Amino acid sequence: MEPSLGPMKMDRRSLLFILRLLSVVTLGIMQVSGPGGWQETPPLYRWIMLAYAVWVLLGWALKPKYYRKTTILVTLFLVDTVLALVLLQGLSSLYGELFLIYFVTIFVAVLAQSVSGGVAAAVLSILLYAFLQYLRTGQYFIFDADHLIRYPFILVTGVLCGFLAEEGQRDDGEKKRLRDTTNMLADKVDLATRKLIESNHSLKAMLDYHKRILSCIQTGIVVAHQDGIIKTFNDGAVRITGYLEEAVDNKNLLELPERLGPLTKALQKTLSEGKGYNLENLEITTARGEVLPVSLQTSVMRSEEGKVLGAIATLKDISLLRQMEIQLTRSERLSALGEMAAGVAHEIKNPLNAIQGFSMRLSSKVQDPSLKKYADTIVQEVQRLDTIINDVLEYSRTTKLSKKPEDFQKLVDEVVQFAEEKFEKAGIRIVREFDPNLPLVPMDYNKIKQVILNLALNAVHAMSGGGTLTFKLSVAEALGDAETPGSKDWVAHVFLNQKVAVLAITDTGCGIAPENMSKLFHPFFTTKTTGTGLGLSICNKLIESHGGTISVQSVVGTGTTFSVQLPLDA
């Protein structure tokens, strides 16, 4: 009967309500189905019956917490008992055994949940039973075994029920304590788990963070443990060496590919000697077979106690730096050359001045046509010398640019107009394809004009049998590698995705032999019988000084395209 003993968990209020309702219903049924039925029942009892029902229903309205209070339970018990008693008395005509009715009262008593409560309920029930019996039969005790046995039976039932209820409650209390302990433990475990998960998360985040640093850094990082096993080989190292992490990771230093020799040796030395090394200007051969200039730095990884745990190597690809150095050396050489050229030019130009002047003077003084021709030849040769000197000066001079936004189309038009006679003479048709959206291009107008004119005249030389010369002006997105096979300009690699104005000059001439392609922009390289071989190198220099590039594509027998790319946002 105890809530916690039943299969369904029921609180005390519900249980009590159900039992009391049962009592009300039973009494009600007895009233209705008794001899004479409801009609025969005196109105007073009907009202008492109704009051009992209302009383029980009111009990349901009471909040569960009041059911823990003894006073309230006792009140309920007493009132119930009195009401039930009165009602039973009113139903005196009934056949059934009064005795059975007292179970309802006993059940109610059980709810006191103690042995003493059970005894009290039993005693009260006995007294009531005796009283009711007296009312019926005129005597309290009917002295036959059949009746007398009922008193101890009621007592035993009350005590037993009280005991059981008390035990149940004790059980319940213990269970509750257990439950509380379990809950507390669960809470603690919960908290600990949450903390663990949190710290796990932050650990994971930190690990991830460090992993990300290792994998995103450009520098190659290789870590070898004390026993020589490679434990870290980051993406940078993969990029630089070309070896995949799987090929190296967890391998002993001795098992590394032979090509990584310098790296292996440096790590071994660092481990054995316990000090780091700094090796600039090292060369390694990558898995792809190319020789790459790198700088290699090793450091010792020590524990807090100073014990050597391993060695760390950082690898840097310095090919770009190298290129810049070469570029710098070249420009230094050029400026030295420029100074020298300027000095030499001055010294040469002074005698040339006199030679030319006197030759012209001679030419005007002599009458003999052949002598005159000799003098004129001297003048012509002096002028050729002068051109060469000017080219050298131009090439070696540090160019000062006065850049401002200019109309590239106008410039091309002017060049075409300037060389019109030459084009006509050589039977060359001019085609112009201009992108109407081309904005003004920042440039030194005269210098770029010089470049374009030079390229146009080169094209004329390449098309001795006539042809078509196309000037195509457009805007392009990037200075990509693939776009500029002839470009040696590292600037192009650094400033990718810049907007550029492109002028492509395409001829239908003889083309350039593949073996000459790489030499095109070298000073003094020429395939012509006249000229200094400085034209294209001057062009290249002027375009480079604009931050642009000049490139060439050529097919022998089909023609050549020179592309000039000038940055738009410089």
**Residue 386 within binding range of another protein, rule CB under 8 A:** yes
Looking at beta carbons only, is 295 or 387 nearer to another protein? 387
Compute the distance between CA of residue 282 and CA of residue 293 in angstroms, rounded to an integer: 6
Looking at beta carbons only, is 359 or 487 nearer to another protein? 359
Touching another protein, residues 393-412 (CB under 8 A): 393
**Residue 66 within binding range of another protein, rule CB under 8 A:** no
Smallest distance, another protein to C-beta of residue 390, A? 7
Looking at beta carbons only, is 79 or 342 nearer to another protein? 342
**String of DSSP letters for 234-251:** -HHHHHHH---HHHHTT-
Given the rule CB under 8 A, which of 160-168, 206-214, 242-250, 342-350 is the region that contacts another protein?
A: 342-350
Q: Which residues contact 413 (CB under 8 A, 6 or more apart)?
A: 432
| Site track for another protein across 347-366, x = CB under 8 A | --xxxxxxxxxx-xx-----
Smallest distance, another protein to C-beta of residue 276, A? 55
Looking at beta carbons only, is 10 or 355 nearer to another protein? 355
Compute the distance between CA of residue 280 and CA of residue 567 in angstroms, rounded to an integer: 35
Smallest distance, another protein to C-beta of residue 354, A? 3
**Residue 372 within binding range of another protein, rule CB under 8 A:** no
Q: Are strands 467-476 and 428-434 parallel, antiparallel or unpaired?
A: parallel
Q: Do residues 67 and 12 make contact, with C-beta atoms less than 8 angstroms apart?
A: yes
**Residue 383 within binding range of another protein, rule CB under 8 A:** yes
Q: Taking the alpha carbons of 154, 156, 161, 162 in that order, is the dihedral positive or negative?
A: positive
Residue reference for tokens 């690809």 = 317
Compute the distance between CA of residue 76 and CA of residue 547 in angstroms, rounded to an integer: 103
Given the rule CB under 8 A, which of 383-391, 412-420, 487-495, 508-516 is the region that contacts another protein?
A: 383-391
| Site track for another protein across 522-541, x = CB under 8 A | --------------------
Given the rule CB under 8 A, which of 141-149, 279-287, 341-349, 520-528 is the region that contacts another protein?
A: 341-349
**String of DSSP letters for 537-557:** HHHHHHHHHTT-EEEEEEETT
Query: In Å, what is the CA distance from 215 to each residue of 83, 212, 218, 300, 310?
Result: 87, 5, 8, 21, 20
HEC sequence for 264-281: HHHHHHHHHHCCCCEEEE
For residue 95, which phi and psi values (nearest 5 degrees)? -80, -40
Looking at beta carbons only, is 386 or 407 nearer to another protein? 386
Compute the distance between CA of residue 323 and CA of residue 487 in angstroms, rounded to an integer: 13
Looking at beta carbons only, is 239 or 449 nearer to another protein? 449
Looking at beta carbons only, is 385 or 453 nearer to another protein? 385
| Site track for another protein across 458-497, x = CB under 8 A | ----------------------------------------
Given the rule CB under 8 A, which of 245-253, 259-267, 380-388, 522-530 is the region that contacts another protein?
A: 380-388
Of 22, 229, 342, 430, which lies in the binding site for another protein, with binding defined by CB under 8 A? Answer: 342
Looking at beta carbons only, is 357 or 427 nearer to another protein? 357
Q: If DSSP codes are grouped into helix, strand and coil, which group holds residue 359?
A: helix
Looking at beta carbons only, is 120 or 355 nearer to another protein? 355
**Residue 507: its H or E element:** strand 500-507
**String of DSSP letters for 491-504:** HHHHTTT--EEEEE
Looking at beta carbons only, is 104 or 451 nearer to another protein? 451
**Residue 345 within binding range of another protein, rule CB under 8 A:** yes
AA identity, residue 35:
P
Looking at beta carbons only, is 323 or 399 nearer to another protein? 399
Exposure class string for 248-270: b at 16+ Cβ within 10 A, else e: beebebeebbebbebbbebbbeb
Compute the distance between CA of residue 127 and CA of residue 440 in angstroms, rounded to an integer: 120
Given the rule CB under 8 A, which of 92-100, 111-119, 315-323, 346-354 is the region that contacts another protein?
A: 346-354
Looking at beta carbons only, is 357 or 405 nearer to another protein? 357
Smallest distance, another protein to C-beta of residue 389, A? 9
Query: In Å, what is the CA distance from 234 to each residue of 22, 129, 315, 520?
Result: 81, 95, 10, 41
Q: How many residues belong to the site for another protein (CB under 8 A)?
A: 20
Residue 236: exposure state from Cβ atoms within 10 A (0-12, 13-18, ≥19): buried
CA neighbours closer than 13 Å in the CB half-sphere of residue 534: 15
Given the rule CB under 8 A, which of 157-165, 175-183, 343-351, 515-523 is the region that contacts another protein?
A: 343-351
Given the rule CB under 8 A, which of 151-159, 200-208, 379-387, 517-525 is the region that contacts another protein?
A: 379-387
Of 382, 411, 441, 520, which lies in the binding site for another protein, with binding defined by CB under 8 A? Answer: 382
* Interaction site with another protein (CB under 8 A): 342, 345-346, 349-358, 360-361, 382-383, 386, 390, 393
